[in-house]
Structure formats: structure tokens, C-alpha cells
Structure 1
Amino acid sequence: MLLEGKVVLVVGASTGIGADAARLFAEEGAAVMLAARTEKTLADLTDELNAAGHQVGHIATDVAVAADVARAIDTTLARFGRLDGAFNNAGMNQQGRLDEVPEADFDRLMAVNVKGTWLCLREEIRAMRQHGGSIVNTSSIGGYRGNTGLGAYQASKHAVIGLTRTAAHDNGPLGIRVNAVAPGPTETPMLTAWRENDPDGVARRLAAVPLRKAGTTTEVADAAAWLLSDRASQISGVVLPVDGGMTA
């Protein structure tokens, strides 16, 4: 029961890492608010978790829209009375050489991955300012390094690491910890789509993982749960790879 008695917001909770994080956090004792763009998927997951005896609510949210993010925080406070933790996991991918990415695609990627993370941090910190809390952002091992064909995505994940470290410095005096997880190849819908388009590329990628396998969404959620918990009470400004040793 790592998160017993805590109220945690999961942003990007409709599928993949976010959905399994919501399940795990609820099982670990948290009251959970789910946020993502897809109302129907959120409602189904909320019904599933409430039927299992957990305390879960949801709100449709586009993280690139400031009013949406503020409403998600206000809805959490109205429903549960406080916010103790947040997992900012909303994000999108963009494949292609950096010089070939259409401007509109680049702008949307940055709006979701970078501006969206910043908007979430801003509103979550507002809610935690009086009593402290813990925030975990989702970056990527692409936030540490370059890689052909993923330039815009990797630039955005570098930015998430910068936001994480700066927010940890700015808000440590308030008792707010800010960390990030950096998944390597993980069995998500994003990896499934990549495997369909470039099976050889995915195979080469996995061959470079020392554990010789993709991670699971639950393994990433486990790392986020620990960082959100009081067992990581002296951990802030850290970017934790969940990558099977790929960045070792």
C-alpha cells in the first residue's frame, strides 16, 4: 500500500502506461483522478476501478489547453479535497528526420509533450503549495540521447527533463518533489504501431537492450508509484531510467 491515503492525478490515463498506472495506484491505496482526451475510455476505466472498490473519478482533458488542465486540478480538489501526487504521462510520438517533420506536426508535438507538461506542473504546484506533494513526469531514454528519425520527439523529451529538474529546484522549499521516469522500449500501443511499420527496426532496438526485452507498462508504473510514495521522500530532481539497462 505504497500510496495509501493519498490523492493522485494520472494525466494521460486512457491507455498504455497511464491506464496501468491508474490501476496500480488504486491498488496501492490511492484515490485517483484520471485525465485524458478520450471521455469514453476514461469512463470505462473509472467504472472498472470503482467496481473493484477503489475511489476513482475522471475528467476529459487536453493537456495543451490551459483551461482544461486547470479544470482537471479543480475537479480533483472538489472531488477529493486535496492533491498529493501527480503522474504527468500524456504524450505523443513523431517519427521522421528532424528536417523533414512538418511544422504543424512539430508544433502539436511540442504543445502536448512540453507545454502540456509545463501546464500540468503549474497547476499541480498550485494545488500542492500549502502541504507539499510529489510529481512524476514521463520523459524517455530519448531525453538523454539522439537517435535518427525521432528528432522532434527526442527534443521534447529532453525538454521534459529540463522542466523536471528546474521544478525540483524551484519547489523543493515548498516540500514538493519532482522527478521523472525515462522508459526505454515499452510494450505500448506506440511500440505496436512502430513494430507494424518497421519490424526490423524494433528488433534492432530490442537487441540493444541488455535484458533483451521490451519493458511492460506495469514496470514503468511501479517506478512511478515508488517515486510518488513516501519511501522516496529524499528523492527529487531524478530521472529514473526504466529501460532494461539500455542507458548503462
Structure 2
Amino acid sequence: MIKYIAFFILLLLSACSSDGNKTKARINEPIYTLIFLDKTRSVNINNAFVSQKYQHVLSDIIEQNIRQKGDKLEVYFIHENTSKARALNLTARTEMEDVSAASATDREAAETEFDMALTREKTQIRQRVLQQLSAQNAGSSNQETDIWASLPVIAKANESGAMVKVYYLSDMIESVKGNDRRDFQITPPKNNAQADEWAKTDVGQLKRYTIGSPDITMILPFEPNASVKENNPAVTQYWQTLFSNLGAGTVSEE
């Protein structure tokens, strides 16, 4: 009986050790952040509420996702040519030196130096991202909103093997002309059931993009008291269903 108990304890310790190693590996895994900024006529970045919300969100994203050397951040503009509209491509350079053989004092000093250097780098990244947020698009490309075109960008990021996190700062109003496209400006989904039906239909032609299992967050530019006509919940339901059926790990809305 004692042998069986000892064997069970060894198995339990082994499992705990394995889980701990997996968690540590996940923490050290680089993060690949994709930010899609809506630069079409339907999103007014000069609106005080939108500007404040998006500035706050972008600061939080940078604070959470830029943690170590190798973390990547890319910014794309959403408009009629989204997949070709990369505005920013950054990779974190701040590296923590090896302190495995250092004394407690030297280790603490190295950690302090790393934190300060990382804070400086985050500040620089934040400034550059906010510059892209405020950039205006007065060209003809602001007439259409091609969110589908973000999928090959996500698929490319998935090839890196990093943990991919995607953020859409957009009203998510897909608006592209063509018989095989969606134009929610003209014909939005009437309800959640229709949104689900359309999304499942569209997955058929979009599943060629292997997006992996990214975390996807939609940050909408609507105030809490926005009407259903302005902030149609069936539109975000469409994207929830589409992204989920394409394999997204989590899909959330803010």
C-alpha cells in the first residue's frame, strides 16, 4: 500500500512539474501584437470620446504585450486596401541579462536596470503608435472598409510561432462593393440569427487563411448610450461567429 501511495505522489509531482514548465514556457513566449486602426469615414478619431478611449486602450496594449526582447508590434490601417496598409513594424530590443550566477544585490540591480530600459522603450513605442492613431486619411481609400483583408495579415503573423494578439479599433462595419462581399453600410444583418448565418457562409471562402488561434479584441468607438441603429449588436455577432469558426482562441468586445 505504501508503495502505491509513493508512486501516486511521484506521478502527481511529475505532473505539477510538467504543468509548471508549460506555464513558464508560455510566459516566455514572444507576443506578436497586431493593431488594426480604422481609417475610414465612419470612424471619427477627432471625437473626444473615441480619441480618449483609443489612446487609453493602446497604452494598455503596449504595457501588457511589450515585456521582453523579441515581442513584436505592427499597426495596420483599415480601409479599402487593409492588407497593404502597414503603418508601423516594431520589435522590442530590451533584454534582461543572465543573472543566474549573480549575487542577490547584482540580480536586483540588473532587474531594476531592465525595468527602466523597458519603460523607456515602451514610451517610445507608445508615442509612435499614438502618432498613427491621429493620422488622417482624406484619400479615396476611406470610402470602403475591408476587414476581411486583415485575415491574411493574421495568417502571416501565425507563421511566426509567437502568441498572436489582434486588436481592431474599429466600428467593424465591413463595407466593400461586390457580389461576393458584405456591405453593412447598405445591408447590415437584421439580427443575431442572420449574422450567424452570414458568417458561417463566409467562412467557406475565408478558411483558406490559416489564422491559428489568436486572441481577438474588437474595441468599438461607440459611447455607452449609443442607439442600436448606431451600434448594431448583430454586426459584432457576425464577427464573433466568423472569427470563432476560423479558429480564434478568444473573441471579445470592448
Shorter chain as denominator, the TM-score bin is 0.3 to 0.5
Q: TM-score, normalised by structure 2?
A: 0.37
